Amino acid sequence: MPNGISAAVVFMGVLAACIAVVLNIAARRMSSNSDAVIEQINRLLPQTQCGQCGFPGCRPYAEAIAGGRTALNQCPPGGEATIFALSELLNRPPTPLNPDFGQHTQRTVAVIDEDACIGCALCLQACPVDAILGAHHYMHTVISIECTGCELCIAPCPVDCIEMASRT
Amino acid sequence: MKTPVGFNLQPPRPLWGIRPPTRKSASMLRPILVAYAPERVVIPIRQCLGMAAAPIVELGQQVQTGQPIAAAIHAFGGPSGPQVHASISGTVESLGAHAVPGPMASEEICVTIRSDGLDRRFTGYDGLGDPLQMSPEQICTLIAEAGIVGLGGAMFSTASKLAARGKVHTLILNGAECEPYITCDEILLREHAAEVLRGAKIMMRALGATQAVIGVESDMPEARVAVHDAIDADGCDDVHVSVVTAKYPAGGERQLIQLIMGREVPEGALPSDIGFVCHNVGTAAAIADFFRDGRPLISRIVTVTGSGINEPLNIDARIGTLMADLSELADGRRDDASHLIMGGPMMGVSLPNDELPVTKATNCLILMQPREISPPRREMPCIRCGECNQVCPAQLLPQELLRASRQHDIDALREFGLDACIECGCCDYVCPSYIPLTARFAASKLEAAEHDAEMAQAVRARARFEAREARLAGAREARELDLKAQVVEAHVSESIADVMARVNARDDQG
């Protein structure tokens, strides 16, 4: 009899160990870790890095959404399409774009008036995607295919020589 | 590769497609008219799909017939593309924007040449020798120099298409001219089958293909007989003729391959990926002409027809001839001719006026009287009859595409195969609700392309943003390390000072 009990204990022990190993692996493989969620959210954002949502770039906004700290309707460049995509992904009800953060408009591109530029290099630091080319005391210009139209370079310019123009 | 690949001499009748009235007989009554050199030609310098071009002549320069005047430039510095040549001899009168035929009233840089009336030949391409003794690379280079592009209407660089060496075992020559009105390929086969055959052999040599199949339609028996006669006279056994059912759009590249070879070209793949290459018969004849006479592509056969033309016929016209001059050669246009179409009535473009030059893509000009055109009809709701699904040669579901297109649902459009739509217009033709499906799909394609460009830009912007963040973080870290090092240094120097002070204090005591 004692022999039967010890066999059962050993058997259950081995079984428990096996299940523990399987569950551990599964937990690691299939965890809905927050990095993956952030990545999925970030992929739906328009990557203008404009900061209109109140966060310094698209990824920080994605992190805030994943953490449940903010609403989905704060991205003006993405507009309705982004709101719908996010609400579908996160299973949260879509709400109209919050006008406090701006209006959805046609994508634009920054243009530097090269005659007026004094080469202060302030806009270079402001550009979130390194789309402005220039150096101190030399004229700057916008690499227009890389410009996301975020308008972050407008404010720092001391001579107001940057304007937003329509694409094409 | 050595074993011949099977093909259909008499392909089965396709289930897709439509049979609109062909109206081809009017322009087949007369032989090809070789037009004299016109007074003035306007030659667009960009005459190759997807390539930029630069002129290589100057204002006031004397040029000879066949002299290169512009060259296509590969975007990424590959070998230079097909050239463009002066089609008459004379003086370069102007170099600048001129209206060209196209879907929108577009302008391109054109070279205008005023004739000196002599039609002096450029001799730079004389004595090229036997192309069948040349290396395939050499043939391709010369074909690009000769400015030869696909004459079926797409203007794709023939040399680029022939460069798919090693992958291709069968050359298909497209003589299945399925659109109504157009007869330029049919009459070419009737009158110049031997040249098409010679061109086919040169192309096979360039491609390393083991066989060629010339596809003709069942409603052009004379052309078929002419090709058979040419093959018999030549005695070659690797060129064959396949007769496809006369049904629109049997002459579409993918459709013709499907009919003749019995295999479908997968979506997103090229015919050369499954071992075939398809060229127009006119392109083959142009290649043969070039290697025999040293005459680059300076003219092409244009069908001038329609009820608005007094004497419909096929004209061998110089590139750059104005369309108005061409209709004069067809005994003039009728007073009530109201519409001008370049290409066929199904896929052609409507042109605003006839002061436009003939380009390498101009296979047909149709002048129509108002009675020949069906009146515009009011679009009505889709009744889901499914007629469009049956006629679609790409086996798409146009009514599903229409729904997705109305909802601007790019993912659904892709899923239903928007990219495989060849814009043949069959669905428009059968739609009982007169829905302009093809126009919608064309617009949706633009929309999808725009969407793709935006997505690509977002991916790039993200990468640049992350690279910048990493760089700034790196700089911050380096600065912090620097600061720490300074602190340590300050600490060390301080302790040395301490020690010295203690040493001095002890000495003082001592």
CATH number, residue A62: 1.10.15.40
Mind spelling out the 3-state secondary structure of chain A?
A: CHHHHHHHHHHHHHHHHHHHHHHHHHHHHHCCCHHHHHHHHHHHCCCCCCCCCCCCCHHHHHHHHHCCCCCCCCCCCCHHHHHHHHHHHHCCCCCCCCHHHCCCCCCEEEEECCCCCCCCCHHHHHCCCCCEECCCCCCCEECCCCCCCCCCCCCCCCCCCEEEEECC
The enclosing domain of A161 has a CATH number of: 3.30.70.20
Same domain, A132 and A156: yes
Segment B442-486, tens digit of pLDDT? 999 999 999 998 889 999 999 999 999 999 999 999 999 999 988
* pLDDT at B212 > cutoff 80: yes
Residue B132, domain extent: 30-318
Residue A140 lies in a domain: yes
State yes or no: ipTM above 0.85. Answer: no
Range list of β-strands (E), B68-105: 68-73, 83-85, 90-100
The pLDDT of residue B93 = 94
- What's residue A33's pLDDT? 66
Looking at the fold, whether B442 and B300 belong to one and the same domain comes out as no
| Spatial distance between the Cα atoms of B485 and B497, rounded to a whole number of angstroms | 18
Determine, yes or no, domain membership for A116: yes
Same domain, A165 and A117: yes
Q: How many CA atoms lie within 13 A of B107 on its CB side?
A: 5
Q: Is residue B433 part of a domain?
A: yes
pLDDT band at B510 (very low <50, low <70, confident <90, very high): low
- Residue B479, in any domain of the structure: yes
Average pLDDT over residues B181-192: 96
Give the span between the Cα atoms of B183 and B174, in whole angstroms.
Answer: 13
Per-residue pLDDT tens over the stretch B299-356: 999 999 999 999 999 999 999 999 999 999 988 888 888 899 999 999 999 998 889 9
Across the interface, of B460, B466, B469, the residue whose CB is closest to A146 is: B460
Is B241 found in the same domain as B94?
A: yes
Tokens of A132: 């402005």
Q: What total of structural domains would you count in chain A?
A: 2
Do both B281 and B408 map to the same domain? no
**Identity at B99, one-letter amino acid code:** A
Whether the per-residue pLDDT at A69 is higher than 60: the answer is: yes
**Coil, helix or strand for B379?**
coil
At B311, which CATH number? Answer: 3.40.50.11540
Distance set, CA B488 to CA B325, B421, B474, B491, B494 (Å): 90, 71, 21, 5, 10
Contacts of A29 (CB under 8 A, 6+ apart): none
- Which spans in B131-244 are helix H? 136-145, 158-162, 184-207, 221-234
Is B369 inside any structural domain? no
pLDDT category at B149 given cuts 50, 70, 90 is: very high
Total domain count for chain B?
2
Question: Pick from B266, B298, B318: which residue ends a domain?
Answer: B318
**What pLDDT is stored for residue B201 in this prediction?**
95
Same domain, B309 and B408: no
Contact B461 A42 (CB under 8 A): no
Clarify whether residues B311 and B392 are in a common domain: no
pLDDT (0 to 100) of residue B492: 76
Together in a domain, A85 and A111: no
Residue B508: how many other CB atoms lie within 10 Å: 7
* pLDDT(A35) > 90: no
- Using the predicted structure, report yes or no on whether residue B79 has a pLDDT greater than 80: no
Which residues in chain A have their CB less than 8 angstroms from residue B464's CB?
Answer: 129-131, 146
Residue A29 has pLDDT above 50, yes or no: yes
B188 and B72 within one domain:
yes
Q: Cα–Cα distance between B391 and B486 in angstroms, integer?
A: 80
Q: Can you tell me the mean pLDDT for A77-98?
A: 90
Alpha-carbon distance B469 to nearest alpha carbon in chain A (angstroms): 8
Q: Tell me whether residue B10 is in a domain.
A: no
Residue B5 has pLDDT above 80, yes or no: no
Residue B353 falls inside a structural domain: no
Are B40 and B128 within one domain?
A: yes
Tell me, yes or no, whether B253 lies in a domain.
yes
- Within 10 angstroms of residue B169's Cβ, the number of other Cβ atoms is 19
Lowest mean pLDDT among A73-82, B84-93, B295-304: A73-82
C-alpha span between B141 and B63 (Å, rounded): 23
| Residues on A contacting B at a C-beta cutoff of 8 Å | 42, 46-49, 57-59, 107, 128-131, 145-146, 148
Same domain (yes/no): A111, A167 = yes
Residue B55 is assigned to a structural domain of this protein: yes
pLDDT tens string B239-257: 999 999 999 999 999 999 9
One domain, residues B125 and B228? yes
CATH code for the domain in which residue B454 is found: 1.10.1060
Name the closest residue on chain A to residue B463, using Cα atoms.
A129
Would residue A68 count as lying in a domain? Answer: yes
The share of chain B scoring above pLDDT 90, in percent, equals 75
A71 and A48 housed in the same domain: yes
Residue A2 maps to a domain: no
Residue B78 has pLDDT above 60, yes or no: no
Neighbours of B87 (CB within 10 A): 29
Which one of A42, A67, A101 terminates a domain?
A101
**pLDDT in the model for residue A106:** 85
The confidence band for B34, taking pLDDT boundaries of 50, 70 and 90, is very high
Select from B289, B318, B347 the last residue of a domain: B318
> Quick one: A90 and A124 in the same domain?
no
B102 secondary structure, DSSP code: S
Residues B314, B384, single domain; the answer is no
Look at residue A12 and tell me if it is in a domain: no
What is residue A111's predicted lDDT score, i.e. its pLDDT?
Answer: 93
Domain presence at residue A71:
yes
Residue A14 lies in a domain: no
Contact, B87 vs B297, CB < 8 A? Answer: no
Q: What pLDDT does B2 receive?
A: 44
Contact A49 B454 (CB under 8 A): no
Chain B closest CA to A128's CA: distance in Å? 6
Residues B217-222: what's their mean pLDDT?
94
Residues A115 and A161 in one domain: yes
Give the integer Cα–Cα distance in Å for B316 and B314.
Answer: 7
More confident residue, B417 or A35: B417
Distance CA B62, CA B2 (A): 51
Shared domain for B159 and B269, answered yes or no, is yes
Partners of residue B88 on adjacent β-strands = none
From B318, B346, B366, the end of a domain falls on B318
Is the domain of B305 the same as that of B392?
no
Partner residue facing A128 (CB), from B458, B460, B468: B468
User: Among A66, A101, A136, which residue terminates a domain?
Assistant: A101
As a whole-number percent, the residues of chain B with pLDDT over 70 amount to: 98
Helix crossing, A58-66 with A34-44: angle to 10°? 130
Mean pLDDT score across all residues of chain B: 91
Tell me if B465 is assigned to some domain.
yes
Is pTM beyond 0.95 here? no
For chain B, state the CA radius of gyration.
31
Domain that holds residue A55: 34-101
Could you tell me the pLDDT band of residue A67, with boundaries at 50, 70 and 90?
confident
**pLDDT in the model for residue B73:** 79
User: Does residue A1 lie in a domain region?
Assistant: no
Tell which phi-psi region holds residue B357, choosing left (phi > 0), alpha (psi between -120 and 50) or beta.
beta
* Among A73, A101, A129, residue at a domain's last position: A101
